[in-house]
Structure 1
Amino acid sequence: MFTGLIQTTGTLFHRGDTQVYVRWEAASLPPALTDVDLGDSIAVDGICLTVEASLPDGFVAAVSPETLDRTSLGNLPDGSRVNLESSLRVGSKIGGHFVTGHIDGQGHLEAAIETDNAWKLSFTVGDRRIARYIVPKGSIAVNGISLTVADCSPSGNWFAVAVIPVTYHETTLQHLRPGQAVNLEGDVLGKYVDKFMGGTDNAPAGNSVSLEFLAEHGY
């Protein structure tokens, strides 16, 4: 479990088709990443990866065919900058929202526009399975960054976020170019609500929550 608050960035290198090596600047690491050990979970551009080897200047993690197929990881060239966040620890502050590190799919940057005190980034989403979880003022993780949806189309196939300068400059958002793919993870709470409202194909039979059910039980 993560929060979507990026702790630092690193540089990604592929080791064949089954591993990646992420290198960082050890001298500037935040405390949460100074004691990385075998088996730890680290979100790399929002993708939850398991550490297979801890190195003085980074770590090695395994990647599965599913990860390469569903995320942008397989298409990132060696030397790409990636966002990094260690897993949430008991008692830690939750400043973003609950992020699982399980990517739903990809979207694409449409435009990045600088305003007086923020950056407005807009994205397109081609997959309805992702778009259904994008709602106004809802939470979404873009390359692992917890962001609030400022605006979106009714279907969710387009959305925009407002990004403060510190987030823009301290993450890989500054390197995105129009048309570039990003990893998207919808709010996990919204997924469970959607399922129990009968909005998904695998909704539990006889257990869906309707407006009538909520009214009957005092909601």
Structure 2
Amino acid sequence: MFTGLIQAQGSLFHRGNTQVYVRWDTLPLPPALGDVALGDSIAVDGICLTVETILPDGFVAAVSPETLDRTSLGRLADGSRVNLESSLRVGSKIGGHFVTGHIDGQGHLEAAIATEDAWRLSFTVGDRRVARYIVPKGSIAVNGISLTVAECSPGGDWFAVAVIPVTYRETTLQHLRPGQAVNLEGDVLGKYVEKFMGSQADPPAGAPMDSGLSLEFLAEHGY
């Protein structure tokens, strides 16, 4: 589990089709990444990877065919900059939102426009697996960065976010170019709500019909 608050940046290099090597670019490392151990989880551009080998200047992690298929990882050129975040520790502050590191799908940067006090980034989303969870003022993880949806189309196939200067400067958002793919993860709370509502609409044979969960109940309690 992660929060979507990026702690460092790294450069990614492929080792065949089954491993990636991530070299630290942010030095000195923050404490959360400075004591990385074998088996630890690290979000790399929002993708939860497991540390298999620790090197003096980085680490090696395994990647699965599903990861390569679902994310932009397989299409990143060697040396590409990536966002890094260590897994959430019990008792740590949660300044973003709960991010699992399990990518729902990809989107593409449409435009990045500098405003007086922020950056406005807009994205197109061609993957229904993630578009369905994009709602106004909801949370979205873009390459592992916790962001708030400023506005979006009704179907979620387009959305825009406002990015403060420090986030733009300290993450790989500054390197994105129009048309470039990004990893997207919808808010896990929305996924559970969708699951529960679907179960209520079509319960198994013999199951109770009324779970107490309804659209009216969710609206009344701020969902």
Which TM-score bucket, shorter chain as reference?
A: over 0.9
Contact persistence 2:9–2:26 (CA under 8 A): no
Structure 1 gaps of 5+ residues are none
- Look up the match of 1:210: 214
Q: Distance in 2 between matches of 1:29 and 1:57?
A: 10
Contact persistence 2:134–2:156 (CA under 8 A): yes
- Look up the match of 1:157: 157
- Match of 1:130, SS state, is helix
Q: Distance in 1 between matches of 2:148 and 2:40?
A: 28
- Look up the match of 1:35: 35
- Look up the match of 2:191: 191
What amino acid does structure 2 have at the position aligned with 1:63?
A: V
* 1:157-176 mapped onto 2 (5 Å cutoff): 157-176=157-176
Q: Distance in 1 between matches of 2:193 and 2:156?
A: 17
In percent, how many aligned pairs have the same letter? 83
Tell me whether 1:16 sits opposite 2:35 in the alignment: no
Q: TM-score, normalised by structure 1?
A: 0.93
Structure 1 residues 166-205: Cα deviation after superposition (integer angstroms, max 9, x where no partner): 000100000000000000000000100111111899x764
- Look up the match of 2:66: 66
Which ranges of 4 or more aligned residues in structure 1 deviate by more than 4 Å?
A: none
Q: Distance in 2 between matches of 1:155 and 1:109?
A: 17
Q: Distance in 2 between matches of 1:75 and 1:93?
A: 33
* 1:106-121 mapped onto 2 (5 Å cutoff): 106-121=106-121
**Cα root mean square deviation, aligned:** 2.0
Contact persistence 1:26–1:56 (CA under 8 A): no
Q: Which moved more, 1:21-30 or 1:184-193?
A: 21-30
Contact persistence 2:8–2:25 (CA under 8 A): no
- Look up the match of 1:46: 46
* 1:52-91 mapped onto 2 (5 Å cutoff): 52-91=52-91
What is the aligned length? 215
